[in-house]
Amino acid sequence: HKKGHPHRHRQLLLQQWQVHQWPSTVASPSVAKTAAAPASAQRLYVRCSFKEYLENPYQLDGEQFKRGGQSILRGLIGKVARLGLKGITEGRLTAGNILVIGNKAENLEVEILDTPQKYNQALPSYREQFRKLASEMVDAWEATCLLAWSQHFFEMLDNCIPWFYFKQLEWHPLLLSSHEVAVVIFRLYTHLDVEKKGWKNNYKELITRENVDFGKIISRTGRGAFAFSKKSEIQLLQKPEEIPADALLTREEIENTLTQAFPEVPLELFDYMLHKHIDINAAIT
């Protein structure tokens, strides 16, 4: 085997998702950490109200402001779901009584102040208020998120879904970075392969957009994304030192391939997990 141009193997691997077949084994991904925020965001929001966050006091760029908003909405979904499962479905949820805590946009946490201890019909609905807050925030992301993702997200909110499904919205593609979308895809495919034997045939029946062999990497197919993820997760989540340096894809290249070549897959996979009543958080952790 002759060693070619140092970038040749990387270029070939990027092209091979269109035509190549990969081994059928899936390795368990290791815990992946979200990339650190730029230095300008390191001092972000040690403690402030959501209203103060919306005023963007540190003048974050659009992407970092969006990342912070995604973290906040995910945190609110978790808090509202936990209250709802206790029967506490009404309470105040405004920009003034939400506390934002953290120093990185992608890892912000929230607390809802003055939460009631029991059901109180006189108070406004948590879900309705969350829907309003989420709509105002997502409207600002319009240029940087897929319309299909935002429509799907708000349709779920509008349909008064049970609390189990409301809780799954924490992992909706709309609220994830491209890196998080890629890692979630890797881990969900791994979970299905290990825990749900025969899931591929069932998936084909439910997701009938294409009829493609899972072993082939073909653009814009769920099966293609599955095959690509099996190959690339070794590089993204396991031992890159075991792969020739000139054959490595960067994390950014892997993530971009998944999100650009397979744009429908994150939402299709999310819907499949809901249809099978699989808790996404339990499946990926």
Three-state SS string over 127-196 comes to HHHHHHHHHHHHHCCHHHCCHHHHHHHHHHHHCCCCHHHHHHHHHCHHHCCHHHHHHHHHHHHHHHHHHC
Say what the alpha-carbon torsion angle 131, 134, 136, 139 is, to the nearest 10 degrees. Answer: -120
Most trustworthy range by pLDDT among 141-150, 204-213, 274-283: 274-283
Lowest mean pLDDT among 15-19, 79-83, 188-192: 15-19
Confidence of residue 198 (pLDDT cuts 50, 70, 90): confident
Chain-centroid distance, C-alpha 43: 24
Edge-to-edge strand order for the sheet containing 47-49? 47-49, 98-101, 109-112
Mean pLDDT of the chain: 74
Per-residue confidence (pLDDT) for residue 186, from 0 to 100: 82
pTM: 0.71
Q: Are 54 and 95 in contact (CB under 8 A)?
A: yes
- Give which of 224, 220, 205, 218 is closest to 276, Cα–Cα: 205
Query: Which of 20-34, 57-71, 122-136, 189-203 is predicted with the least confidence, judged by mean pLDDT?
Result: 20-34
- Label residue 262 by pLDDT band (50, 70, 90): low
Q: Give pLDDT, residue 46.
A: 77
Q: Which residue has the higher pLDDT, 23 or 88?
A: 88
Using DSSP, state whether 27 is helix, strand or coil: coil
* The pLDDT value given to residue 250: 61
For 41-48, what is the mean pLDDT? 64
> According to the model, what pLDDT value does residue 201 have?
77
The answer to whether the CB of 122 falls within 8 A of the CB of 92 is no
Strand segments (E) across 56-143: 98-101, 109-112
Average pLDDT over residues 88-111: 93
